[in-house]
Amino acid sequence: MAQLDEYVEAEIQRLLTENGAVAEQGITLQRRDHLLVLGGEVESAQRRDEICRQITTRFPEVEIACDIGIVRAAAPSEVEEIS
């Protein structure tokens, strides 16, 4: 089990932004005892899966739990009057 310290967390955070296959700035990381919980929302299931793949490839000993959602894209049902 890799040490899930602040340096690993920072490295993963930068990986998710700077890696061209991901380029996500809105993913949250929460360290548990032996688990890294990923949060936030992305635009497609492929992007969510690529995030997990990149982390697993770079840090094969880090166990991750993926709570990343796909942002809904339905039409609105309400209008807000601005005053």
Residues within the interface to other proteins (CB under 8 A): 20, 23, 25-26, 28, 40-41, 43-44, 46-47, 71-83
Smallest distance, other proteins to C-beta of residue 27, A: 9
When the beta carbons of 61 and 81 are compared against other proteins, the nearer one is: 81
Burial of 52 (0-12, 13-18, 19+ CB in 10 A): middle
Smallest distance, other proteins to C-beta of residue 72, A: 5
